[in-house]
Each structure stands twice: as C-alpha cells, then as structure tokens.
Amino acid sequence: MTAIALLQTTELPRLAQPTIVAVAIVYFAIVGAIGVWATRRTRTASDFFVAGEGIGLAALTLAAMSATLSGFAFIGGPALVYTAGLGAMFLILPASVTSSMTSWALAKRMRLLGEVRGLVTVPDAIGARYRSPAAQGLSAVAILVAVVGYMATNLLALGLVIDAIFGTGLALGVWIGMAIVLAYSVAGGILAGVYTDMFQGTLMAVASVLVFLYTLKVGGGMGGISRTILENDPGFLSAFGAMGPVAALSLFFVFGVGSMGQPHVIHKFYMLREPRKLKWYPLLVTVALLVTMLLYFGVGVAMKSLVAGGEVAPLSRPDDATPFFLLRYTPVLLAAIVFSGVAAAIMSTVNSFMNIGAAALTHDLPVALGRRVGNELLWGRISTVAISVAAAFLALLPGALVAFLGIFGWGLFASTLVPALAIGLNWEGATREGAIASISVGLVVTLFFETLAYFKVYSFPAGVTVSGASLVLSILVFFGVSWLTRQRAAGALDPDVALVMSV
C-alpha cells in the first residue's frame, strides 16, 4: 500500500492549452530566478546542505510542507479517494498529529545537536548519538537506496506532467524536468530548494483551497456531495471505504509513526536560524499541510459524486480525476496554476532528495569509512548530478522497475530511522548495537519482502504492508537488542549529546 505514496506512472491527459503553457513557463522562470539568487548566496558546504543554518520559521514551514507532499497529493491521492473512498483518507489523517509529535521527539534535539556538533545530515545525528560511524554509514546506505528510488519515481511523474503540458514526449519531459531541478539544486543547494519551496508551497496551498471551493460549488456543498454518494454507493463514505479496517489503520500507522523518519523533512530542522522559533512550527506546518490536502479529499469525493449522480461517465483511469475536474469545472487559469502546483510539488520533493542523497554520498559514507571529502561543496554538487542522472535513467527503464523502486521509499526511511533517531535521541538506554540492528532489520526486511512481492513470489496477507511490518519489527528489534546489550554499551554518551538529550 505504500506504493500509493508516490506513484504517478500513468500518462496524464493532454493539457497543452495556451494559458496552461504560459503559466507553466512563468512558473519555471520564477523557479529559475530563485535558483540564480540562491546560487549567489551558496559559498560553503553548510550553505549547500543546511542553508547555513539561516532560514526563518516561514521558510522552514513551507519547505517542510512542500517536501512532505509530492505530486501524489494532487493526482494520485484524489484518484485513490475516488477509488477507495474514505479509507484513502487514512493516509493523510495523521497530519494533524505528526508535526507536533515530530517536534517533541526530534525538532529541538536535532536543531541543538546540529548547533553543538555542526551536523549537516540526518545520519550525522545517528553517528553522534551512538558514537558509531557504522550506524551512520548504514543509515546513509538506507537513505541512498530509498532516495534513488524515490527520485526515479518523482522524475517520471515530472516527465509525465511536462509531457502533458508541453507535448515533449515522456523521455524528453523527464530529462527537461531533471535538468530544471538539477540546475537550481546543484547551483544553489538546499538554499535554492528552501526558497523555491516557499514559492511552490504557497502556490500549492492557494491552488488547493481554490479547487476545494470549486468542488463544493460543483457538488452542491458537502451535504449535496454526501447525499449523491450515499444514494448510490453508501459504502464509499463508510469509515474505511473500500478498504478493510486493518489496511486503512495500517496506512495511519505507517504514515503517522513513519513521519518521524523522513529525512527530507526532519533534515530541515538543522536549517532553522533561531531554535526558539520552533514554538509555532507544529501549528503552522499542520495548518499548511491540512489546507494543501483539501484538494486530495475534495476532488476525490466530488468526482465520485459526479459519477454517482450520472453527470459524468465513470473514469477509465482514476488518475484522470484531477485533470478531468480541473479542465471541466474550473477556470483555465486555476487549472494552469494547479498543474504548475503539481510540478512544484514534485520538484520540491526531488530537490530535497537530491540534497540528502548527495550528502549521504559525499559526507556520511566517507565519514563511516573514516575519511572526509576535501571539498564537500564541490563534491556535493558532483554527487547531486550523478544521483540525478542515475535516477533519470532508472525512471526511463522499460517495465515497472520504477514503480518498484518508488514503492518502498517511505517505509524504508521509517523502519531504518524512526527507532534509531526518534526513540534513540530520547532514550539514554538505547545502544549502538540496538541502532545498528534496527537499521539493518528495516533495510533487509523492506528490500527482501518488497522484492518478493514485486516478483510475485510471496506477498503478505491482505491488510499487512511491508512498510508497516518492517517498522514494527525494527522498533521491537531496537528495544530488544538495546536491552540485551544494556550492560556493555548502554549509557555511553558524549557530554554534549547527553546535554542535548536532557534539555
């Protein structure tokens, strides 16, 4: 089920109307301008990887929100609601809790640890917490594996959007999309990413609210939408929709608890200029997330209502739900903004992945091997190009490989990072052995069972997701191994890390 988190691998309807093309061009021009501005301010590796620890609360909020949401929130998500009913909402429902939970568990400690140690990556925090280059390297490997898969899937989605707008063909669309994100990511690093995220996040939120208002208008208000659906398919609005309770609740578990292990989001805590600004972060980012996901819900139920009421023929492909609704029921300018918003959502996610992937390659893996790259800024840029090109090639491989690669990203991040980081930074009794064991279990279980499922050799029973099972296992292994090794290793903390953990 985690597959649904990012996949957008089917072709979109042709969108090549002058207004949509013009808005897209303006959008890409603005992104380019921000990239040029950020490039002039990127002088060090710290600027490149953590924006020189110099961003404000608004930038952090919008960057975290933009990185969290990929194009799935605009295309695949509404399609899932249209198909699976209310059960699909369990994927985004945890958003009302996750930002606060992550702030308590991680934000303050990561930000302070970053300041004390000059950390620039998420594996850095694991390495510092456990005094373990092995744990740092292992978590970097997990991140790198997931990042390349995630990026390939997102680049494919970006190629589909560009092809739909400009008629470039898929392959050229992928390369153009990759080149645009790469241009500002290589030159301006995460600084460019954060400030384009601010622009992109604002665009996504505004577009989502406007489209939601149109869905209410078209459907006769929420009551009208509900009545039409209830007349024809009441099960759609039952608590779990077409899903079983375990499948829906599993989404809540994986996307709720797993949110504490998403490096492209939690990495941004390092960047906040003033740690005490975190005070209002959970409120702002939660509101931003919920507002931006109005479209996810609104378009899904509105299209279901229109189909149920006989006004629209059933969609041949659920992924057409958003394009169909926009092109038929909203002004073309709004449709254009949303399509640019889809590109924005994908690009902001890709940019974040590029950055953490490059950091894993040029910073964490060398540190794990006891070395350090001489010029991290230069090698960070080179790594960004290398990872992006590899992801683009993967995206264009024939067959369903890219779908497979995109499946396990969220779950892999969650199972490898949540125990070691979110629990470990708050529990002095956690041990290096526990961290290494849990990261290893998360990595192996996720890759092994996702591969078996992909080749149709073995799948878990209905309702059980690989992501959920691997997250549960890695947490239990973390507790178990930490307990078993408590006499030998528990409690050995550097004083500064102990101080940060006690604050």
Partner 1 sequence: MARRNALLALLLGTLACAAAYASAFLPGPPKAWAGWALGIGTAVVMVAASALGAARGDKGIGRLKVPFAVTFLILAGGFAAVLVMPAPTGAADPLFLGLPAPAAIVLIGIGLLPLLVLPFAYALTFDDMTLSEDDLERVRAQARALQAGTASPAVEAPRAEPVEVEV
Please, which of residues 405-434 interact with partner 1 by CB under 8 A? 422-423, 426-429
| Residue 308 vs 443, nearer CB to partner 1 | 308
Contact 187, 40 (CB under 8 A): no
Helices (H), 293-431: 294-308, 321-329, 332-359, 365-368, 376-395, 401-407, 409-417
- Residues between 218 and 277 with contacts to partner 1, criterion CB under 8 A: 221-227, 230-231, 234-235, 237-240, 244-246, 249-250, 252-253, 256-257, 260, 275-276
Element (H, E) at 446: helix 432-454
Cβ neighbours of 17 (radius 10 Å): 15
From 254, 241, 297, 262, select the one nearest 74 (Cα to Cα): 297
| Residue 99 vs 196, nearer CB to partner 1 | 99
| Residue 169 vs 244, nearer CB to partner 1 | 244
* Residue 188 interacts with partner 1 (CB under 8 A): yes or no: no
Find where tokens 């209502």 sit: 305
Give min distance, CB of 408 to partner 1, in A: 17
Q: Is 411 exposed, middle or buried (0-12, 13-18, 19+ CB in 10 A)?
A: buried
Give min distance, CB of 471 to partner 1, in A: 8
- Residues between 197 and 216 with contacts to partner 1, criterion CB under 8 A: none
- Residues between 316 and 355 with contacts to partner 1, criterion CB under 8 A: none
| b/e code 360-380 from CB counts within 10 Å (16+ = b) | bbbbbbbbbeeeebeebbebb
- Residues between 124 and 153 with contacts to partner 1, criterion CB under 8 A: 124, 128, 131
Exactly one of 3, 5, 69, 119 binds partner 1 (CB under 8 A); that residue is 119
| Residue 96 vs 375, nearer CB to partner 1 | 96
Q: Report how many residues bind partner 1 under the rule CB under 8 A.
A: 97
From 112, 82, 401, select the one nearest 219 (Cα to Cα): 82
Exactly one of 372, 375, 448, 459 binds partner 1 (CB under 8 A); that residue is 372
Give min distance, CB of 433 to partner 1, in A: 14
* Residue 161 interacts with partner 1 (CB under 8 A): yes or no: no
| Residue 41 vs 227, nearer CB to partner 1 | 227
Element (H, E) at 372: none
The upper half-sphere exposure of residue 378, i.e. CA atoms within 13 Å in the direction of its Cβ, equals 3
Give min distance, CB of 147 to partner 1, in A: 20
For the CA atoms of 469, 474, 475, 476, what is the dihedral angle to 10 degrees?
90
The full DSSP string for 264-301 is HHHGGGGGBS-GGGGGGHHHHHHHHHHHHTHHHHHHHH
| Residue 40 vs 279, nearer CB to partner 1 | 279
Give min distance, CB of 332 to partner 1, in A: 28
List the structure tokens of 5: 């988190």
| Residue 339 vs 449, nearer CB to partner 1 | 449
Give min distance, CB of 99 to partner 1, in A: 7
Give min distance, CB of 443 to partner 1, in A: 19
Exactly one of 21, 30, 58, 116 binds partner 1 (CB under 8 A); that residue is 116
- Residues between 282 and 311 with contacts to partner 1, criterion CB under 8 A: 282-283, 286-287, 290, 297
| Residue 57 vs 161, nearer CB to partner 1 | 57
Distances in whole angstroms, Cα of residue 157 to Cα of each of 25, 106, 175: 18, 31, 12
* Residue 27 interacts with partner 1 (CB under 8 A): yes or no: no
| Residue 120 vs 391, nearer CB to partner 1 | 120
* Rounded-to-integer distance, Cα 98 and Cα 69, Å: 14
* Rounded-to-integer distance, Cα 425 and Cα 498, Å: 9
* Residue 493 interacts with partner 1 (CB under 8 A): yes or no: yes
- Residues between 86 and 115 with contacts to partner 1, criterion CB under 8 A: 86, 89-90, 92-97, 99-101, 103-106, 108-109, 112, 115
* Rounded-to-integer distance, Cα 485 and Cα 417, Å: 20
Helices (H), 74-132: 76-84, 95-102, 108-117, 122-130
Exactly one of 120, 162, 299, 343 binds partner 1 (CB under 8 A); that residue is 120
Q: Interface with partner 1 by CB under 8 A: which range of 144-152, 191-199, 347-355, 462-470?
A: 462-470
Give min distance, CB of 156 to partner 1, in A: 30
Contact 180, 347 (CB under 8 A): yes
Q: Phi, psi (5° rounding) for residue 178?
A: -60, -40
Exactly one of 210, 327, 396, 472 binds partner 1 (CB under 8 A); that residue is 472
What's the sign of the alpha-carbon dihedral 402, 289, 427, 110? positive
| Residue 31 vs 469, nearer CB to partner 1 | 469
What 3-state class would DSSP assign to 55? strand
* Residue 462 interacts with partner 1 (CB under 8 A): yes or no: yes
